[in-house]
Every structure is written in structure tokens, then in C-alpha cells.
Structure 1
Amino acid sequence: MSIQVSHITKEYGVQKALDDVTFSIEKGEIVGFLGPNGAGKSTLMKILTTYLKPTEGTAAVNNFTVSEDDLNVQKSVGYLPEHNPLYLDMYVREYLMFNAEIYKIPKEEVEKIIERTGLTPEAHKKIEQLSKGYRQRVGLANALLHNPEVLILDEPTTGLDPNQLIEIRELIKNIGKDKDGKTVLLSTHIMQEVEAICDRVIIINKGRIVLDKKLKELSNSKEQIIEVEFDYRVETEALQQLKKVSKVENPSGFVYNIYFATDSDMRASVFDFAHDNGLKILQLHQKNTSLEKLFIELTTQK
């Protein structure tokens, strides 16, 4: 396993930022770490990068425990924090060369990283002259300098305009899919980010894991919801007699949410039910449970 988290709890006084968190990530996976602000995402990433120590539990990166083998963990992790710390008065190439000396990385490798992250046209500029998007590229280039096996990225696209956002997403996706198979843990609260980049999603809320699934499993969910409004009240028990119905809700008036345990289009079945029972359909919508809807449901539970 590239990342192994086992029963991690982190307390700040009486407040629990993380509460018995457990998950593992295999080599080469790109995992989206989703959660509302204050859910514990940054705290866990700081533990995985050895910046913080857990109150309870253990974590390991590339089989190095974060509490005992912190130097080896740091060597095998590339980290881009939420607030990207850069020396703004340094030139892009100068800044990367400076950091490369710390890792004893040859000059030619720095040039490869500059090219790989699309910084060649900006390498002669001071960092303070760069747009937010290019500053993020510098942060990514710095995280990649020592060719880490694991990349931990905390909100890497915050504050970017739509064009910059697409560019950084593609860059991260390409890095994760490279032949050397880097593992990427990407923290974000943007659903589209996960759907565009990741293989798997972990959702955290109030310090606890509330979902851990492959994106394919979510997109191939064998469930659909049909919202229908009739011109007359219907007993929910009658709707539950329809084929493949798993649940019926009556949120208001003559409106019903019918849950079908199938990905086949069941609108015709609802039309037939209305015809056979002398009902008129005033409106009908087919709804599929999206990642965004699932996120809202899981993170607004009391």
C-alpha cells in the first residue's frame, strides 16, 4: 500500500478534528478526498506529511510510519499545501534550482520538471509576476522535484479561473497516470474536480469517513429516482407494487419520489400506472443520484 491510515484520531483540546479514520490507498491510485470546510481534510494531510502527529492511531506512507520514520516519509512524498508557500522575489528557475540543491538533484532534472509542468515560457520570470495558475504550477513542480512516489495535494485549484483550473486538472491527471504510477491524494470540496481527475472518492464529515468508493461504482449505480406529480393523491403502497421499486416518498401534496432498483428507464412504467388508474401526470422528472447530491446528503446529516 502507498498510504495506510489506521484508526487515526486527532484532538485539539476537547475538539476532535479526526475521529477513528481508517483507509488505504494502493500504488497508482488517484483518490479524491472530499469534505466541507472544517471536516478534517487538511489535518489528515498534515499528519501524512509528518507536520502533525496523531493523538491516536497509526499512519504509513510507502511502509514508513509517520511517527517513527518521518524523514523517509518526507523523502517519498511530494506535498502541495493549500496555501502554496513560495519565495516571490525569486525567479522560477532560480527557486526550483534552490530547492533541487537540498535534494541533490541534477540541473538537467530541474529542466525536465520545468518542461513537464508547462513552466518553460515563464521560467525566466520572478514568481511575483506569475498568475495564480502558474504559481500553482511552480508549487507542483517543486513537489515533483525529488520524484516522489506519493503526491499529496491540498486544494490545488482554489482561486483559479476556469482556464487555469482545466490546465491544472489536466496536469495533475497526467502526473497520476504517468508510467511510474504515482499515487495521488487530492483534497478538495469541488465535486467536478474529483469526477475529472480521480479513480476513487473518500468523503469525510466532522472528522469521520462517511463514504469510500470507486467512482465507477457510483456512476454505475443500479438505482434511479423518478419524481412524479399526479392530479390526485395516490397511496404509496400502490406505487410500491410497481416492478423494481425499492422505496416511495411523498414529500408534498401529490408529488412522489419513486426509487427503482435498476438503471433501466422506468418512466414508461409510471405512465402505465397513471393510465391504468385514471390519473393525469402533471410533471415527471428522472433523477439520478450524482456525486454532488450524495455529498450533500452525507455531509448535512445531523
Structure 2
Amino acid sequence: MARAGEPLPPRAIRFDPRRCAEGPAEALAAPGRAEPRLLDRGRDEGGQVSGAEPARGEWEPGLERRALPRAVIRELDRRAIEEWGIPSFALMESAGRACAERVLSLLRRSPRRGLVHVLVGPGNNGGDGLVIARTLLQALGSGVRVSYLGADPTAVRVSDDFRLNWKLWTGLGPPITQVHPTSPAPGTWLSTLADDALVVDALFGHGLSRPLGEPWKSAIDALNAARVPVLAVDVPSGLDADTGEVLGAAVRATQTVTFIAPKLGFFRGAGPEHIGRLHVAEIGVPQAWIEAEIARARA
């Protein structure tokens, strides 16, 4: 039991769909703003959370022909912000809420009990993870845990969007477990991963192009060994988004929610062994722009 003045630890949950029957997107909708939505029609009957080894990648027929390189994804992001006028924070919010929607759907069918554990890295993928954690906590009321792997975000340069989402979580949720690069390999919290209901991988996104060091490599190795259901945010951490190469270690996800368009690396190299069931989320980038880039890539 926590002593007076100490924060209460996160409480394990039994998922009750009545507590979020409308889903996080509806509960947190902002007036006049397009909501994130999953573009594919994944066969939900096959997406239950069981903890089994993730299957080889599954996706809608033809989705591989819509894949784009990360440079094009980055440019579409930039144009959405600078030309379309969408605040970068709004894109992050939409991305996070689309992932949270998928997590809630998985939990609804899950026989597992335990915490939803969000692993957060130091970049914008980590910012997406903080949005996911906040959205889930608001929908469920409890049972969400955040672990941050990286240099202290209060002492190093991080994006304004990440910093704001960090502040929002610290004002709302239980304390964040922090593991710094200069620390020994991640400690006892790694041994508890197998007890989680589901882990959200928000360590690194499509921008990663170098081999992973510590503490990320140890965390990914432990996550893969835990045989816990994993939802990867945008790209399974450690997978090169263009080539499908494993950059030292890569998360083996049971589900991946990617943004804007599939990444080339999902269908190359080791990609199909790491993405699990693939979903594409619309986050506010004009669809006409995306279709134009897909047509250009296939020309």
C-alpha cells in the first residue's frame, strides 16, 4: 500500500467496453477537426490478443503497391504543416489517437489481464506514445504505464510537441519509469513485460537508420522474449523503414499502425517478420497528395 504523499501505482485493469463505448476519438473530439481513422479494413476476427508469437506480416491485398519511402513520408508531413496549415501537434494527436483506438479494439477481445505498457523513445514517435498513453488513461481510468528510454527530456533537446505531451502526461498519469542511455541495461521492469496485457512500441519511428545501442537494444530483446502482444507505432522499432533491415534488434509486433502510407521496408528484407497485422491510419495529410505520390512512385 502506498504511504501518505506517495503516488498510487497504476492498477491492473479488466477491460470494460462500456467505459469507452464511443472510443477515444469520439470522447476527445475537437470541434471542427477531422478525426483519425484507420483506412484499411483489417479482418478483426483474426486480431485477438493472445500473447502468441506474432504471425508473418498480414495486410490487405495490394497494400504493398501503396508503399512509399521515408523521404516522401517526411515531405508529406512537412507540406501538411507548412502548406496545409495543420499544426504538428495536431498530427501527433491524430496519430496517437488512431493507435489508441486500435489498442482499445484489441483489449476488447483480449483474454489477457494486466497493464497497458507504453514504451516511449526520445523522438516524435515517443511523442505519439505519450498521446496514446494519455488517451488510453482518459478512456479506461487506470491501468496504463509509461516507460521512457532516453536522455532526460528536461535536460536535452526534444521537440516542442514531445515536451508538451510529456507535461500533459505528468500532470495526469502515474510517474514515468525513466531509463537513461548511461544507465546499466534496463532493470527489473523488463522482467515484468510478460505480465502486461499489451505493450505499445513507441521507441523509434521511420527516421531510424543506424544500429541501436543501449538501453534500447536490451529493451527490444526483452520485449521479443516476453511473448507479449505488441502494437508498433508507425514502424516496429529497430526496423529500417526503407530496406526492412534489422538495425541491431527490431521489435516483433503483433500489430503495426502506420501513418500516411505503408513503408517500403514492411515488404522487404525482414519487414514481413516484424510488422504483424498492418493497419494504415489517416492523420490529416490530404489524401490527394498521398495518392499523387503513390502514382508517381509506381510510374
Q: Fold conserved (TM > 0.5)?
A: no
* Larger Rg belongs to: 1
TM range (shorter): 0.3 to 0.5
Taking structure 2 as the reference length, the TM-score comes to 0.34
Q: Greater relative contact order (Cα 8 A, min sep 6): structure 1 or 2?
A: 2
Higher strand share: 1
